[in-house]
Amino acid sequence: MGTFTKLLLASLGIVFLAVQWTLPSLHAESLKGARVLVTGASTGIGEQIAYHYARFGAQIVITARREHVLQQVAEKCLSLGAQKALYITADMAGESDPDKVVSFALDKLGGLDYLVLNHIGRSPFSMWEGDVEHTQWLMKVNFFSYLQMASKALAPLEQSKGSLVVVSSVLGKMSSPFVAPYTSTKFALNGFFGALQLELTMKRSNVSISICTLGLIDTESAMEKIRGVTNVPAYPATEAALKIITAGATRQPEVFYPWFTYFASISKDLFPSTSNYFMRNSFNYNP
């Protein structure tokens, strides 16, 4: 590594740490009674998001596909201190379900302060073999349903000066093998909601958008997919969930977790060949 590259990375590191040091801190009391809708909340990151909001005393609506699991999560939220914990089942590939969920939350909570879009559809961890139909379905679940719910929620969020929180991935910043359909949906999310951020700012909207860029998180589904395939470290879902909540509550436009995902993101543009080399060699693969 040349001297210039070392100096550049060191400078970027200093800037990143300085920015992190000056970020606003979360005031737990600001979330007491907050009206929150969390998608993909039956397991993983979404489940942990719901539990954190519950501990802060929020009013929560959660959604996913499996009713019996949602019921268990809602009951635990109440035991943790949520003022309300309601659930509604939904299939985000359906034409009407995204709208139905937002309408349910608005009706039961009387408004909305936070919309946390976190759900994803199942996708194989494998080389793409030309399955266009699956990619179209995944784009519907992981991208178009986000747009549909955001569209429905923008007016009530405007009234409450609320926050729209989008859970994305470092794979929406840089490509990776084995997850081409998933990566395409996250690139789409970053592009659309990044543009919407700018538009809302130009219109002096009351709504903030926080885009959360996550690395590998230790959810059960993620660990099952990568077992024996890669040694990339995974980070706790409960910590990721708290970062996501903090981003929305403090109206940060973008947050990275874990911290090195920021450098992974910018390395793709600064050092594309090196970035691609490390990405290719992060997996155990023999053709």
Q: If residue 247 lies in a helix (H) or strand (E), which one and from where to where?
A: helix 237-249
Quickly tell me which residue has 């519907």 as its tokens: 140
- Per residue in 46-100, pLDDT tens? 999 999 999 999 999 999 999 999 999 999 999 999 999 999 999 999 999 999 9
- Per residue in 116-147, pLDDT tens? 999 999 999 999 999 999 999 999 999 999 99
Question: Which tokens in the block code for residue 123?
Answer: 């996708």
User: If we measure between CA atoms, which residue out of 228, 216, 230 comes closest to residue 283?
Assistant: 230
User: If we measure between CA atoms, which residue out of 107, 117, 61, 110 comes closest to residue 84?
Assistant: 61
For residue 133, what pLDDT is reported? 97
Confirm whether pTM is higher than 0.85. yes
- Per residue in 208-262, pLDDT tens? 999 999 999 999 999 998 888 888 899 999 999 999 999 999 999 999 999 999 9
Please give the backbone phi and psi of residue 172, each rounded to the nearest 5 degrees, phi first: -95, 0
3 state DSSP class of 105: helix
DSSP-assigned letters across all residues of 117-161: E-------SS---S-HHHHHHHHIIIIIHHHHHHHHHHHHHHHHT
Question: Which tokens in the block code for residue 268?
Answer: 């793709």
What is the rounded CA–CA span in Å between residue 247 and residue 255? 7
Strand order in the sheet with 35-39: 84-89, 59-64, 35-39, 114-117, 163-169, 208-214, 254-257
What is the rounded CA–CA span in Å between residue 287 and residue 50? 42
Question: Which tokens in the block code for residue 262?
Answer: 């920021």
- Are the C-beta atoms of residues 58 and 31 closer than 8 Å to each other? yes
What is the rounded CA–CA span in Å between residue 244 and residue 94? 26
Catalytic residue set: 182
